[in-house]
């Protein structure tokens, strides 16, 4: 076999300019519970009957379908349409007048498009699923409750969810957690069975405390700040799902606090949750140095609502151990058997929270008062903020953030072949294409910005090489021997490759700095995505040191994931990437001597 590696350069992704949306009117939820909600999301009319001209047609997520046939004819030919399934589902879970109100606003042509999109993403095997229905809910759009969405499909998925939310059709989609995920704090406050919506609204206001400076969330973010001393800001996105819980038979206050730039695994998430609970508890003790009058008063008020509202229960651990993952924005839960009905508490965005270390204060932004990029992040548009809000994995550097563009180009180059098999590897976040007959394979790895090409003979190697490195391609290729090929994900260095990087006893120069990523040692509480131009070397015992362009380091070991452990002149150890190492110049070698 033979192999080559191909390197791609990042491509800037322009964002379309969209005008902000006004808040929606209040919606009447099931069981006559009045939920006040702003609706920044949808770039489609709230309903086909109430579009007031504040949306421009070019920004629709898809072309509106032609007028559908009349509903009276939907089953005349014996076929059952998605609208028929939705009609049955809504009338089983809602009162007839409420169901009819929702159905009157549904565009059957668009609903057919959404149904086809979701059905095409359905899979049978659980281990390959990227999304599922919360609680394995039985729904009109799924028979297996398991979905596998490609990265390029997520934008469309978020828009379709927004359309269904506008119509009032509940969705129950969650994103599965893999080994690393965004830190999410699940905040739940229980109310007594005899309490009404007014009590729920009062409790929610006590926690959000917008007029008082959002002191509860400020306390949490302020105490997380020392864990990440390199971060000038701690950012979080706040979602609300407060309302009547059918499962508990009472109202509850529910918030999800999603940290946009903090990546954790289950162990680290549990430790951070315990740390936050301990800080809150210590703040309630009058003789404690951490005493906070607001937190102490809030604790007493919450316990009056229910004796279960101790902070160890308020900061729920569900988001850490939930086998279904975290709900997507505007998605609901289904109550447990025997009731099995929508809870009527979809997850709605409240705003962005930013704790600034230098000012020692917290900024609060509602969805309708955000700046353009933040606004579209909450709205579900495909920028970095939305991906973070939806809990997408943050293990991505500058090159990976534009990988969708590279993917599309890569896939286009391979369309000259009529046959072949595409695969999207969840474990490595890579894609590969194998021609029929297994004559070779082309694999794209976003983390390393590489395309690996392997073939069984010289003929197929030439064919595949020409395919990804022809004159129309912006990729640069270099041919390597099979023994020098990377690991299974194309990232690791082989033993024969390492000496070729430098001619001076393994001494390398840092060519440039890596932005927005760092590899964290196991001693760290959590991983963070830094937003300044430095490579972070994380030494033992969690001590962080900088690695700057031009420094000389020695390679200690090569991690299977492609990261390289290097030693600085002062003896500190840390991690960097092969693409940022190179042979030092003679002048640099003279300085070293």
For the chain, domain boundaries: 2-10+399-484, 27-174, 177-380, 499-592
CATH class of the domain comprising 2-10+399-484: alpha beta
Lowest mean pLDDT across 170-179, 501-510, 532-541: 532-541
Contact between residue 431 and residue 446 where contact means Cβ atoms under 8 Å apart? no
Domain 499-592: assigned CATH number: 2.30.30.40
Q: What is the pLDDT of residues 107-142, one digit of tens each?
A: 989 999 999 999 999 998 787 888 998 887 778 888
Residues 6+ apart with CB under 8 A from 416: 467
Residue 280 has pLDDT above 90, yes or no: yes
pLDDT tier for residue 186 given thresholds of 50, 70 and 90? very high
Distance between CA atoms of residues 388 and 172, nearest Å: 19
Beta strands in 191-249 (DSSP E): 233-240, 243-245
Integer Cα distance of 229 and 39 in angstroms: 35
pLDDT at position 206 is: 80
Please give the average per-residue pLDDT across 395-404, as a whole number. 31
- Give pLDDT, residue 446: 56
Give the distance from CA 300 to its chain's centroid: 35
pLDDT tens track for 315-351: 998 778 777 888 898 999 887 767 678 888 999 888 8
Q: Quick check: 430 and 445 in contact, CB under 8 A?
A: yes
Residue 240, φ and ψ in degrees, nearest 5: -125, 140
Q: Shortest CA distance to 236 belongs to which of 207, 262, 263, 258?
A: 258
Run of H or E residues at 296: helix 293-305
Sign for the CA dihedral angle at 504, 506, 512, 513 comes to: negative
Alpha carbons 389 and 144: distance in angstroms, whole number: 26
Find the mean pLDDT for residues 67-91.
64
pLDDT in tens, 462-496: 666 666 655 444 444 444 444 443 333 333 333 33
Query: Which residue stretches of 366-509 are H helix?
Result: 372-379, 384-389, 398-401, 403-413, 458-468
How much is the mean pLDDT over the chain?
A: 65
Predicted TM-score of the model (pTM):
0.52
**Measuring CA to CA, how many Å separate 556 from each of 259, 505, 565, 572?**
33, 12, 5, 11
* C-alpha–C-alpha distance, residues 4 and 477, integer Å: 7
By the 8 A CB rule, do 326 and 318 touch? no
Question: For 352-374, what is each residue's pLDDT tens digit?
Answer: 888 887 776 666 665 544 443 34
Residue 202's pLDDT is 82
* DSSP type of residue 544: E
Rounded distance, CA 30 to CA 32, Å? 5
Name the residue with higher pLDDT: 341 or 457.
341
């Amino acid at each position: 076999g033979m192999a080559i590696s191909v390197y791609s350069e990042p491509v800037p992704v322009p964002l379309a300019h969209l005008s902000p949306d006004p808040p929606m009117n209040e919606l009447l939820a099931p069981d006559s519970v009045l939920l006040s909600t702003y609706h920044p999301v949808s770039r489609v009319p709230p309903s086909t009957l109430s579009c007031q001209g504040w949306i421009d047609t070019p920004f629709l997520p898809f072309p509106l379908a032609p007028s559908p046939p009349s509903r009276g004819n939907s089953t005349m030919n014996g076929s059952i349409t998605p609208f028929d399934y939705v009609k049955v589902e809504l009338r089983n879970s809602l009162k007839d007048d409420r169901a009819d109100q929702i159905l009157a606003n549904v565009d059957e042509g668009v609903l057919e498009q959404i149904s086809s999109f979701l059905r095409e993403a359905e899979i049978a095997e659980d281990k390959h699923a990227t999304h599922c229905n919360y609680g394995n809910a039985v729904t009109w759009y799924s028979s297996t409750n398991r979905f596998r969405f490609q990265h390029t499909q997520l934008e469309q998925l978020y828009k379709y969810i927004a359309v269904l939310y506008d119509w009032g059709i509940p969705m129950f989609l969650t994103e599965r957690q893999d080994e690393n995920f965004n830190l999410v704090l699940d905040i739940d406050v229980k109310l007594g069975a005899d309490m009404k919506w007014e009590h729920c609204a009062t409790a929610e206001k006590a926690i959000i405390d917008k007029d008082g400076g959002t002191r509860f969330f400020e306390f949490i973010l302020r105490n997380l700040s020392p864990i990440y001393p390199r971060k000038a800001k701690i950012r979080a996105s706040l979602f609300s799902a407060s309302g009547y819980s059918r499962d508990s038979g009472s109202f509850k206050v529910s918030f999800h606090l999603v940290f946009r730039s903090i990546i954790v695994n289950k162990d680290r998430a549990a430790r951070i949750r315990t740390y936050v609970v301990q800080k809150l508890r210590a703040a309630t003790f009058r003789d404690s140095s951490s005493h906070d009058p607001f937190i102490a008063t809030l604790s007493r008020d919450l316990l009056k609502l229910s004796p279960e509202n101790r902070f160890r229960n308020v900061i729920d651990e569900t988001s850490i151990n939930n086998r279904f993952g975290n709900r997507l924005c505007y998605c609901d839960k289904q109550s447990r058997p025997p009731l099995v009905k929508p809870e009527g508490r979809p997850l709605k965005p409240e705003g962005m929270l930013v704790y600034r270390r230098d000012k020692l204060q917290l900024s609060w932004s509602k969805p309708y008062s955000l700046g353009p990029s933040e606004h579209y992040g909450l709205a579900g548009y495909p920028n970095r903020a939305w991906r973070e809000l939806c809990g997408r994995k943050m293990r991505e550097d500058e090159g990976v953030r534009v990988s969708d563009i590279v993917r599309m180009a890569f896939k286009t180059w391979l369309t000259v072949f009529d046959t072949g098999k595409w695969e999207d590897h969840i474990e490595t976040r890579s894609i590969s294409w194998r021609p029929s007959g297994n004559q070779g394979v082309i694999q794209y790895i976003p983390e390393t910005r590489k395309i690996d090409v392997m073939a069984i003979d010289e003929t197929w190697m030439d064919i595949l090489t020409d395919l990804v490195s022809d004159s129309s391609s912006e990729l640069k290729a270099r041919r390597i021997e099979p023994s020098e090929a990377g690991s299974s994900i194309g990232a690791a260095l082989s033993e024969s490759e390492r000496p070729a990087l430098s001619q001076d006893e393994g001494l390398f120069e840092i060519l440039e700095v890596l932005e927005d990523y760092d590899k964290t040692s196991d001693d760290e509480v959590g991983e963070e995505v830094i937003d300044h131009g430095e490579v972070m070397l994380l030494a033992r015992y969690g001590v962080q040191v900088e690695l700057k362009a031009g420094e000389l380091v020695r390679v200690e070991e090569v991690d299977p994931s492609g990261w390289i452990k290097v030693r600085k002149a002062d003896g500190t150890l840390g991690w960097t990437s092969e693409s940022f190492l190179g042979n030092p110049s003679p002048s640099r070698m003279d300085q070293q001597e």
